[in-house]
Amino acid sequence: MDEAVASIRPVDELGVPLGPGHPIGLLHALGARDDWEDLTVAGALLTDLYDLFTKPTVRFLSGFFGPIERGYRDAGFNIEFVPADFRRFAPVLEAQAPRVMATAAALPDAAGWMSLSLHAGATVDELHRAGADPDRVLIVEVSPHFPRTLGLGPYSHRMHVDECDFVVETDRSPIALPDPEPSEIDRAIAGFATGYISDGSTIQTGIGSIPSTIAKLLVEGDGGDYGIHSEMFTSGLKLLHDSGKVTNNAKGIFQGYSITTFAAGNQGLYDWLNDRDDVRFLPVHVVNSAEVIANNANMVSINGAMSIDLFGQVVADTIDGKQFSGIGGHEEFVSGSGLELSDRSLICLPSTATIDGQLRSRITATLMAGSVVTTPRHHLDVVCTEYGAAEMQGRTVRERAAALAEIAHPDFRDELFDAAAGMGRGR
């Protein structure tokens, strides 16, 4: 580890994957150095507190904010957001071409191959390019606690020790995420969402209590023969697998396999993924391709949002214009699931939020000044709140607005209906 840390210069650039692929031990060890003059680290979704990013001469460029990025930013540290959807992380990183690339992996096998474990994502090609370039440095941190996972076909999801400048073994475990406890509102939203999931559907879910509750309802329900094609593999999707209801036999593409590009969940999920044959990790440019998504039979994508206006513009990664999370695969799965009539894209959100003690509607007549749109109105298909589901495709501006007002909280419906009545009529 000391040699790997010393290979990074006081003025340098380091690239790391999104959260589950972080070389945790390396990042902590880098925080012990005080000689940084100008270090830029490119990555996304910090999963641990690192002293490195509290240094005044260290800058972190994040493609996806989590609570740690938000905390560091609010404390005045050098944390900046780089707008890009998940698939575009790869060309952004290629253009940056950090001199040093680092990732986490499982222990090498007898032949020297290291599984990239919990993360394929957008860094695979850049990791290989760094390993092949004598002017760049490739560091791979391996741990017995990271599961060995598999790729598929030409997507091998592994690196060989001979590619690396440094292979560093640590005893670090991947960061485990607690299973969220669903609320009654979450259960109501999930109930409406599962109405769009039929036998043989291919499913994509994100993180959070609503997707987790949807998975639990599917486990308890009568349906089955599901497929999985999801950028993120979660503890909820593991439960669905364990129920025997995931067969991946009706997908039409990647038959027999659940497809993902990274995994995050509890320790039970990580143990379960080890040497698992029926879950395969592919690069994000494959998993999040709109054409690949649409080639799955009866694709149903499930994503969240912060707010939606009556036009159907979705704000999913900012609050009042301030960065909260990231774009990720949100629009890619929303748009990809809308290319065929049999596919559905669901945006699930509670109808209200309480901010500074005041109840606010998440469905608004217009977006607040400074709002940042994540997904445009013409990609929107179905919106679910605890009050119902509103279908958007093929409806006029006025009809869409009225449908959204119908599933808003009762305290705000009248004013939303009044606003909807004049929409699409030259106003």
User: Among all residues, which ones are annotated catalytic?
Assistant: 231
HEC string of 17-35 equals EEHHHCCHHHHHHHCCCCC
Per the structure block, which two tokens stand in for 58?
A: 């260290």
Q: State the sign of the Cα–Cα–Cα–Cα dihedral 66, 70, 75, 76.
A: positive
Number of neighbouring beta carbons within 10 Å of residue 239: 19
Residues with Cβ within 8 Å of residue 317, at least 6 apart in sequence = 65, 306, 323, 324, 325, 326, 327, 328, 330, 372, 374
376 DSSP assignment: -
Cβ(42)–Cβ(96) under 8 Å? yes
b/e per residue, 37-56, with b = 16+ CB within 10 A? eebbbbbbbbbeebebbebe
Which amino acid would we find at residue 177?
Answer: L
List C-alpha distances in Å: 222 to 125, 189, 190, 215, 405: 42, 19, 15, 13, 32
Q: Could you tell me which residues are beta bridge partners of residue 322? A: 319
Cβ(87)–Cβ(284) under 8 Å? yes
CB burial class (10 A; 0-12, 13-18, 19+) of residue 156?
Answer: middle
Dist CA 6 CA 88 (whole Å)? 31
CA dihedral 86, 91, 97, 102 (to 10 degrees): 30
Query: What count of residues does the chain have?
Result: 427
